[in-house]
Every structure is written in structure tokens, then in C-alpha cells.
Amino acid sequence: MNNSGKGLNMGQGRGLGRGGGQGRNKGGAYGTGGFCVCAKCGEKVPHQQGVKCTEVKCPKCGHTMVREELLKDKG
């Protein structure tokens, strides 16, 4: 047997892996504009660019707000 330092069964490196998902919002942001809505009382405030709705507290009841599109996707 000739053992010249080359291994047998050299792989092709074609692993497909798992995942490849797009993450939240089907891979895209909702962009500017729109509204943050309180899931508890329904209060609606304009979305501020650069501030996540989940970082905003409802001015009426103090609950965490969510992006309006997320409530529409559920219903």
C-alpha cells in the first residue's frame, strides 16, 4: 500500500447544514411609519424610527407595546 500522506475518502465540503431561516418578520423590518399598539388596552401611538415598539410603554395602561403589523399577522 502506498501511503504518500494523502488521506482516503476526501470530503467534498458540501454540507447543506440546517436553518437558513429569515428570522423575525419574514426576514425584513417593517420600516418607518406605522404604529405601536398596546396588546392589552388597544392604545395606538405612532412608531418612532430607531425605537422598537417593545421598548415603548403604553401611555394609557403602562403595558408593553407591539408593532401593529404583528397584531395583524396573528388575526
Which band of pLDDT confidence, cut at 50, 70 and 90, is reported for residue 72? confident
* In the chain, where the domains are located: 33-74
Cell of 60: 394609557
Instruction: Choose between 69 and 60: higher pLDDT.
Output: 60
| pLDDT at 9 > cutoff 80 | no
What gap in Å lies between CA 45 and CA 34, rounded to an integer? Answer: 9
pLDDT, mean over the chain: 77
Neighbour order of strands in the sheet with 35-38: 44-46, 35-38, 65-67
Look at residue 11 in the predicted model and tell me its pLDDT: 61
Question: What percent of the chain clears pLDDT 90, i.e. is strictly above it?
Answer: 44
| pLDDT at 21 > cutoff 60 | no
Look at residue 27 in the predicted model and tell me its pLDDT: 45
